[in-house]
Amino acid sequence: MSTINEIPLAAQAMKRPTAVTKQLLKRSSAARRERSAKVKMVLGAFLTAIVVLPIVLAQVLPLPDVDAQNITSRFLPPLSGGHLFGTDQLGRDILSRVLHGGQVSLTIGVLAVVISGVVGVVLGALAGFFGGWVDAVVSRLIEAQLSLPLLMMLLLVVALFGPSIPVITFVIAIAQWPEPARLTRSLVLVEREKPYVQAAKVLGLPQITTLVKHIIPNVINQVIVVVLLLLATAVLMESALSFLGAGPQRPFATWGRIISDGQDFLTTSWWIVTLPGAVIAILVVGVNLLADGLRDRVRRRKETTA
């Protein structure tokens, strides 16, 4: 951003006539790309924050108890009787349930993404750096997993091992490792050929040190952005699992279950399904926009420094 503003100033200072006006620079494709990346990032950060902050603060906020049932105040529409999002079929406050459900979803999502990110980076880096049979094994595994409709397998795991939070976290982590692994592998493949790796070799650095201390730090930024995108997918996956009845069981209120329970009352009480779904959508749109904008930016920085 700064370079774009500086050029005309520098030109003015030197009093050199130039045909490059500020307007032209503003219309250049680089500036336009920069602007749309920025719009995406700001909008994304805003949308993420309006969902994540209340979820994190759910215990502190003055909300009715998650499980407090009140038969007299069933099916209250939004904005009535002190219920911002209304109440459900048992008179429970929907906002409170959505926020507490969000804590479960976000915990599962973040843990799963961290696990799959670490596994993916380690396996991808090993495959890209050492090649040979390590690469063959990892690549075949990635290909195999990507071509499978994993949801059924995940449902089988949950059915066999029980829908506890660790099982669901593990299941989502396993579903997601190929994405960061594939990216890390392809980035390391490029990085491996660069002169500094040769230099490290000549200096007698052990291969593993070169990989961990020099190659991985150079590629990690791009991988982290993709891992952020995975967080969005993880939240969606968790909500789909709980919608199908394979999510964390009661007493946890989960997003998917709030929606699947509310489905029966759709015709009379639209808000039970609509509002929780809208919250999921806002969060995931926010994370996706943020990651998309960041990715544009990280990529460009890489291009200009390379």
Partner 1 sequence: MLTYVAKRLSQSLLTIFLTVSTVFVLIRMAPGDPAYALAGPLASTGDLEKIRTSMGLNEPLFTQYGIFLKELAAGNIGKSYSFQAPALDVVLGRLPNTIFLAVLAILLAIVVAIPLGVWMAKRADTKRELGVNVLTIAGQSMPDFWIGIMLLTLFAVVFPIFPSSGFTSWSGVVLPVATIAILQIALVSRMVRREVGSNLAAPYLTVARARGTGEQKLTWAYAMRNSSIPILTTLGTRFAGMLNGVVVVEVVFNWPGLGSLVVRALETRDYPLIQATVLVTSVLAVGVQLLIDLCYPLLDPRVRLGKVSVA
Which of 11, 25, 110, 240 binds partner 1 (CB under 8 A)? It is 240
Least gap, CB of 11 to partner 1 (angstroms): 25
* 103 touching partner 1, by CB under 8 A: no
Which of 94, 232, 253, 294 binds partner 1 (CB under 8 A)? It is 232
Least gap, CB of 204 to partner 1 (angstroms): 34
The 144-183 contact track toward partner 1, x by CB under 8 A, reads x-xxxxxxxx-xxxxxxxx---------------------
Least gap, CB of 208 to partner 1 (angstroms): 26
Task: Please spell the DSSP secondary structure of 25-83, one letter per residue.
Answer: HHHSHHHHHHHHHHHHHHHHHHHHHHHHHHHHTTTTS----TT---GGGTTPPTTBTTB
* 78 touching partner 1, by CB under 8 A: no
Least gap, CB of 242 to partner 1 (angstroms): 10
Q: Which residues contact 139 (CB under 8 A, 6 or more apart)?
A: 127, 185
Given the rule CB under 8 A, which of 56-64, 89-97, 119-127, 269-277 is the region that contacts partner 1?
269-277
- DSSP tag of 92: -
Q: Look at the alpha carbons of 77, 98, 151, 156 in this order and tell me if their dihedral is positive or negative.
A: negative
- Residue 109 to residue 97: CA distance in whole angstroms: 18
* 236 touching partner 1, by CB under 8 A: yes
* 137 touching partner 1, by CB under 8 A: no
* 29 touching partner 1, by CB under 8 A: yes
- Residue 56 to residue 164: CA distance in whole angstroms: 22
Q: Angle at the Cα of 116 (from 47 to 180), degrees rounded to 5?
A: 80
- Residue 273 to residue 277: CA distance in whole angstroms: 6
**What are the structure tokens assigned to 206, written together?**
């052990």
Helix axes 29-56, 94-130, angle to 10 degrees: 130
Report how far apart, in Å, the C-alpha atoms of 255 and of each of 30, 95, 121, 132 are: 40, 11, 30, 44
Least gap, CB of 6 to partner 1 (angstroms): 22
Given the rule CB under 8 A, which of 38-46, 52-60, 70-78, 217-225 is the region that contacts partner 1?
38-46
* 134 touching partner 1, by CB under 8 A: no
Q: What are phi and psi of 230, to 5 degrees?
A: -65, -30
* Residues at the interface with partner 1 (CB under 8 A): 29, 32-33, 35-36, 39-40, 43, 139-141, 143-144, 146-153, 155-162, 232, 236, 239-240, 243-246, 256, 259-260, 263, 266-267, 270, 273-274, 277, 280-281, 284-285, 288-289, 292
